[in-house]
Amino acid sequence: MGFWQGKPDRPKSNLQTYGGERVGRYERIERHGRPIGVVNDIMDCIFLVDLFLNFRTGYYTTDGVLIMDPKLAAWEYTRTWFLLDFASSITPVMTVCLSLLGLSAGGASNMGFAKVFKLTKVSKVFKAFRIGKFLKLLNGESELATQVISISMSSFLIAHLLACFMAMSGDGWMRTYDPRAYDDDPASAWSWQRQYLAAIYWAFTTMTTVGYGDITPAGDMDRVYAIFAMLIGVSFYSYIIASVSSMVSSVDTKNAVYFEKMEELSSWMDHYGLEPALKRRVRRFFKQFYADHSAIDDQYILERLSPVLQEAISTYLLHDYILEHSLFNELPEGSLWKIMLIVRNMTFETGAIIVQKGEINVTLFILHTGEVVMEVGEQRRTLDAGDSFGELCLLGVNSESEVTVTALSRAKFFYIRRDAFLEAFSNFPEVFDTMYEKRELFAAKTLTHRGGSQANRKNRHGTRMRNKTMLDGLREGILGKDHKNEKVKKSAYTRLATVKEKLRKTVGKKSKAT
């Protein structure tokens, strides 16, 4: 604004001299180590380096696939952000070119430089857009930090505009502001820097609805502008209050959802009149449950992602003990996230019995931490981290546990219940069949835990091999022919399934007898 740049009574006939003085002042500010010049030079260097690095920077597609090919990355950058980045980075390039051409900042040539200099000032508009690009990237990393920066920058920008328009509305503001009790010079005789500081002070007191009343309008135009400034100020102040309230309430969404669910739990227990001791146990369980799990609905987020992102997130969040488990290590792409939705954590205290032989069990357990002993018949075996039990119960082959597992210390398990497992894979019958075919592997693992002589284990292995050979022969005999009739083919599959089920029951009875 002209008010801040020089005296208001500058004659218009001195336009050429004034233009040269402005350019000269700009050069002195930019080239003699003033803070604003240093900051500007640093930003120019950063933008130039960023311009060249972006040609070698990979990018993500809309499906979440990372592209690192240099040619594709360069083309993607050229068709998206290159023009904006180039326009915002042209200022130092033009400055260097003008310096090499020997243009000076005085006389008639100074006016030519001033015209070219106006073009470089246009590029500073693009710098603002480019800063917005960086803020957009920052928003992907920290939404809260971006909101704080955005509110702060908006506050200073609006305060700056209010201060500048205050100067344009009239000079009565400074004439009525007379702090001669503290300073010999009246405010109207201050330098433009001090007057600008006073105007910024007035703008912030107006925006925050404080209004000390020490700077007041003196004329009609001043009062009209004061009304306009107060309307703008109270509107922006309301926006700040709403934004800060929103940020505070969303700082920790998980805790907000947690307290909401715990209140619902308390209401539920009060409704049914549970005794205090049982209430404490239930409340302690859910505190541990929500400490290990997100209180936010994972399914709502995961089911809306692309298969590639579903796989990437599931692989990142699931523990290696789950990913490497033989039941899940061959799942096709796009189904692993189903496991993530149904895996839960459970902690058992020292001496707790996790499962009891002969009792109903519908859960697969995978040991995470702690010392646990498993009893199979007369044999006892200490489980290592990553060991599991209950696979046959999860698949529905067995309804009762064949082992007894006891915690020797505080132990933490990953577990999956059968009902959640069946519901998760109800629309993936081929995936469930793949896991169900591994039941013989888990049955063999249980038999091995039971111990016995080496000869008995060899006999059991030979029996399993003979059964497998028998099934292969039946499959070849029933389905070996090229059945053109669909009914005949369907009947053949039914016969094969019946034979396999009978054979499974026979093997199960023999295993129990052993």
> CA 424 to CA 328: how far, in whole Å?
14
The mean pLDDT value for 452-461 works out to 41
For 199, residues 6+ apart whose C-beta sits below 8 A from its C-beta are 162, 163, 164, 166, 167, 173
Query: For residue 106, how many other CB atoms are within 10 A of its CB?
Result: 10
- Reply yes or no on whether the pLDDT at 497 is more than 70: no
Between 81 and 452, the more confident residue is: 81
User: What CATH number does the domain containing 151 carry?
Assistant: 1.10.287.70
Helical packing angle, 35-53 and 90-100, nearest 10°: 110
Domain contains 148: yes
- Reply yes or no on whether the pLDDT at 367 is more than 90: yes
- The pLDDT of residue 180 is 58
Domain contains 427: yes
The length of the chain is 514
Between 289 and 381, the more confident residue is: 381
**Shared-domain flag, residues 312 and 205:** no
> CA 314 to CA 333: how far, in whole Å?
11
**Shared-domain flag, residues 289 and 166:** yes
**Shared-domain flag, residues 84 and 181:** no
H-type alpha helices, 412-453: 418-424, 429-436, 439-449
Reported as a pLDDT band with limits 50, 70 and 90, residue 469 is low
Dihedrals φ, ψ of 367, to 5°?
A: -70, 130
**Shared-domain flag, residues 286 and 159:** yes
**Shared-domain flag, residues 184 and 303:** no
pLDDT in tens, 224-276: 888 888 888 888 888 888 887 777 766 666 667 777 888 888 899 888 888 88
Domain contains 7: no
The mean pLDDT value for 443-448 works out to 60
**Shared-domain flag, residues 227 and 308:** no
What is the overall mean pLDDT for the chain? 71
- The pLDDT of residue 131 is 54
**Shared-domain flag, residues 244 and 273:** yes
- Reply yes or no on whether the pLDDT at 458 is more than 50: no
For 352, residues 6+ apart whose C-beta sits below 8 A from its C-beta are 406, 407, 411
Counting residues of the chain whose pLDDT is more than 70, the rounded percentage is 61
- The pLDDT of residue 465 is 52
**Shared-domain flag, residues 223 and 314:** no
**Shared-domain flag, residues 319 and 284:** no
Place of tokens 């000076």: 104
Which of 206-210, 273-277, 410-414, 494-498 is predicted most confidently?
Answer: 410-414
Diameter over CA atoms, the chain: 115
Residue 106 to residues 91, 93, 100, 117, 258, Cα–Cα distance (Å)? 20, 21, 16, 14, 70
Amino acid letter, residue 489: K
Closest CA to 411 of 443, 389, 394: 389
Structure tokens at 142: 């920290």
> CA 442 to CA 279: how far, in whole Å?
39
**What region, left, alpha or beta, does residue 135 occupy, with left being phi > 0 and alpha being psi -120 to 50 degrees?**
alpha
Structure tokens at 153: 């920058």
- The pLDDT of residue 447 is 53
Amino acid letter, residue 363: T
- The pLDDT of residue 182 is 53
Reported as a pLDDT band with limits 50, 70 and 90, residue 91 is low
Between 342 and 448, the more confident residue is: 342
For 449, residues 6+ apart whose C-beta sits below 8 A from its C-beta are 374, 376, 379, 381, 403
Structure tokens at 2: 């002209």
Between 140 and 387, the more confident residue is: 387
**Shared-domain flag, residues 150 and 247:** yes
Domain count, the chain: 3
CB 340 within 8 A of CB 303: no
**Shared-domain flag, residues 248 and 336:** no
Reported as a pLDDT band with limits 50, 70 and 90, residue 445 is low
The mean pLDDT value for 173-200 works out to 72
> CA 350 to CA 370: how far, in whole Å?
9
Residue 257 to residues 263, 293, 299, Cα–Cα distance (Å)? 10, 12, 16
pLDDT in tens, 122-154: 455 455 555 555 555 555 445 667 777 888 888
Nearest-Å Rg of the Cα atoms of the chain is: 38
> CA 108 to CA 155: how far, in whole Å?
41
Helical packing angle, 107-141 and 90-100, nearest 10°: 150
- The pLDDT of residue 366 is 93
Reported as a pLDDT band with limits 50, 70 and 90, residue 405 is very high
Tell me the residue range of the domain where 451 lies. 299-477
Beta bridge partners of 374: 381, 405
Domain contains 466: yes
Amino acid letter, residue 422: L
